[in-house]
Structure 1
Amino acid sequence: MTAGESALRDVAVKVAEEAAELVRNAREAMVAGQRMPVETKSSDTDVVTAVDRASEDLIRRRLAELRPGEAVLGEEGGGAEGSGGEGEGDGVTWVVDPIDGTVNFLYGSPVFAVSVAAQVAGRSVAGAVVEPASGRVWTAVRGQGAWLDGRPLRVSAPARLEVTLLSTGFSYLSERRARQARVIEGLLSRVRDVRRGGSGALDLCAVGAGWTDAYFEHGLNRWDWAAGALVAAEAGAVVSLPGDDPGLGTDATFAAAPSIAAPLRDLLAAHGAKDV
């Protein structure tokens, strides 16, 4: 690991942990009865809270202090702007999701995370995913590996599709959700089971840890996968990102254990994944 890569990883962890503490404290205040402003974005089910915005504001402020002048792309604040307002260019761009799994956060489910990744030329080189509820910290550095709380990660090795545990997610738009469901319906008799966690970042990390064997979803944004996909890839998963595999759809994210990656990819394609 180079000193530069180590520094990027350390910054990602630091700001993600600080934001996770803010999010955790806000969730505890909600449990205690404090109300929170909630708005919607692309649909009535696509929500954003005041805590999302406060978390991203904290991350942007800390990145400006720790890595001045570097571009930031965030789910709530847009991007990619450095402290001087410049575009992301060829340098480091920080890609942040202040709460990945906002609906889970709002309902009290613990399955949500803060995701911070450093990218160069659109590809992640270092990142961290922090779970506020559990305190778990997932990290990765390109070419150097992935870790959960400092423990090296390695993907699973299912022998065949029939014993593959697949995770997925669905669009906030009901029409697209129905099309996605039809693809999954075609897979149900061919895999062990299907999970839907509600956080793309944590679903990707779970593949890296071997907690699931594969993950597939349409419609993720860059901040959803920037850190989690690096964790999966550095743990040994076969990963394709939006735009990498038109046969699965132009906005498909795919991560799978190598032993079943090819047949799973072909099965998804055969059931119309590219048309979702």
Structure 2
Amino acid sequence: MGSNEWLNSPVKSELKAELLDLAISIAKQAGELLMARPDVFDLEMKSSAIDFATQMDIASEKLIVSKILEARPDDGIIGEEGASIPSKSGVTWVIDPLDGTVNYFYGIAGWNVSIAAKDSEGVQVGVVNAPSINSFWSATKDGGATCNGKKIKCNDPVEFNRALIATGFSYDVADREAQAALVSKLLLEIRDLRRIGAGAADLCLVATGRLDGFYERGLNEWDLAAGGLIATEAGALVTGRNGGPAGKEMVIAAGAHLHARLVAEIG
């Protein structure tokens, strides 16, 4: 059986449906937990004084991990807050228990829960729950993408001078200098720029057509896995520089027409 046949086989389809149902259920539970935002935060510093986790990041990851292992004890898990469990089943979950921690800390909308499941063929299932903006996205590989249960499609074609583009910024000062230079260049050529503060939400907003494009350097796998699948299944191209694989070095997401120009501008 060839790769495409396997991806679309009844066994694979049944597994994807099972993983999607589980991801949806857990993302909703984590979203409910996070909506009970505390008045006082305990901060755990990470890579720098402006990069931190709260007790809610940690509580959300604990909830997600426990629910996954309860349902599928042989699956692997990769989590932003340290979860690292090797897979015995061939399925590995990639989770960001609270994407947009700074937004959450300041009480700004856009933070979300991001959960994806991957196997040797790549990410098969992705969900992003952003309860602060009443948006729940989901996708399965080759199965399309939805927002709040409705099929979605990215904007395409979009002319560069009419494009609303989102980006994000690194915690590293040297990276920020390069990012600022690129922003200064793009702002003279596009409609406008947005800084949402949560990479998974940015990708999903591209998928829904609420943004025309998105680019960012420094995203981790848990930032990209679910949102990247959702954007792809909504018709967007999600790549790195020069059309290569998306990853920590660069993520560029947009409909095909705009994507080509963004890739050329970003270099």
TM-score, length basis structure 2? 0.91
1:102: Cα distance to partner?
0.1
Alignment of 1:87-166 (within 5 A): 87-88=86-87, 91-121=90-120, 123-166=122-165
Alignment of 1:71-82 (within 5 A): 71-79=76-84, 81=85
Tell me how far apart the structure 1 counterparts of residues 108 and 125 of structure 2 sit (CA, whole Å): 27
Q: Is the 8 A contact 1:53 1:76 kept in 2?
A: yes
- Asked if 1:262 corresponds to 2:260, the answer is yes
Q: Is the 8 A contact 2:219 2:248 kept in 1?
A: no
| Partner secondary structure for residue 203 of structure 1 | helix
1:263: Cα distance to partner?
1.5
Q: Is the 8 A contact 1:245 1:252 kept in 2?
A: no
Equivalent pairs counted in the alignment come to 256
| Partner secondary structure for residue 198 of structure 1 | coil
Cα root mean square deviation, aligned: 2.0
Q: Is the 8 A contact 2:103 2:197 kept in 1?
A: yes
Letter aligned with residue 202 of structure 1: A
Q: Is the 8 A contact 1:70 1:88 kept in 2?
A: yes
Q: Which residue of 2 aligns with 1:66?
A: 71
Tell me how far apart the structure 2 counterparts of residues 20 and 54 of structure 1 sit (CA, whole Å): 11
CA 122–57 in structure 1, closer or farther in 2 if over 3 Å, else same: farther
Tell me how far apart the structure 1 counterparts of residues 91 and 27 of structure 2 sit (CA, whole Å): 17
2:26 aligned to which of 11, 15, 20: 15
CA 241–91 in structure 1, closer or farther in 2 if over 3 Å, else same: farther
Tell me how far apart the structure 2 counterparts of residues 252 and 215 of structure 1 sit (CA, whole Å): 11
- Asked if 1:46 corresponds to 2:55, the answer is no
Alignment of 1:128-207 (within 5 A): 128-207=127-206
Q: Is the 8 A contact 1:243 1:250 kept in 2?
A: no
1:122: Cα distance to partner?
7.0
1:249: Cα distance to partner?
8.5
CA 244–96 in structure 1, closer or farther in 2 if over 3 Å, else same: farther
Q: Which residue of 1 aligns with 2:35?
A: 24
Q: Is the 8 A contact 1:187 1:268 kept in 2?
A: no
1:121: Cα distance to partner?
2.5
1:23: Cα distance to partner?
0.8
CA 250–11 in structure 1, closer or farther in 2 if over 3 Å, else same: closer
Deviations 1:126-164 (A, max 9, x none): 011001324421000000100001100001024421111
Tell me how far apart the structure 1 counterparts of residues 230 and 31 of structure 2 sit (CA, whole Å): 18
Q: Which runs of 5+ in 1 are unaligned?
A: 82-86, 270-276
Q: Which residue of 1 aligns with 2:3?
A: none
1:53: Cα distance to partner?
0.4
Letter aligned with residue 6 of structure 1: A
Letter aligned with residue 22 of structure 1: L
Q: Which residue of 1 aligns with 2:62?
A: 57
1:73: Cα distance to partner?
0.3
Tell me how far apart the structure 1 counterparts of residues 247 and 144 of structure 2 sit (CA, whole Å): 28
1:252 aligned to which of 247, 250, 253: 250
Tell me how far apart the structure 1 counterparts of residues 258 and 135 of structure 2 sit (CA, whole Å): 28
Letter aligned with residue 239 of structure 2: S
Q: Which residue of 1 aligns with 2:232?
A: 233
Deviations 1:190-217 (A, max 9, x none): 1111110000000000000001111000
Q: Is the 8 A contact 1:159 1:259 kept in 2?
A: yes
Deviations 1:154-176 (A, max 9, x none): 01024421111110000012221
Tell me how far apart the structure 2 counterparts of residues 189 and 165 of structure 1 sit (CA, whole Å): 12
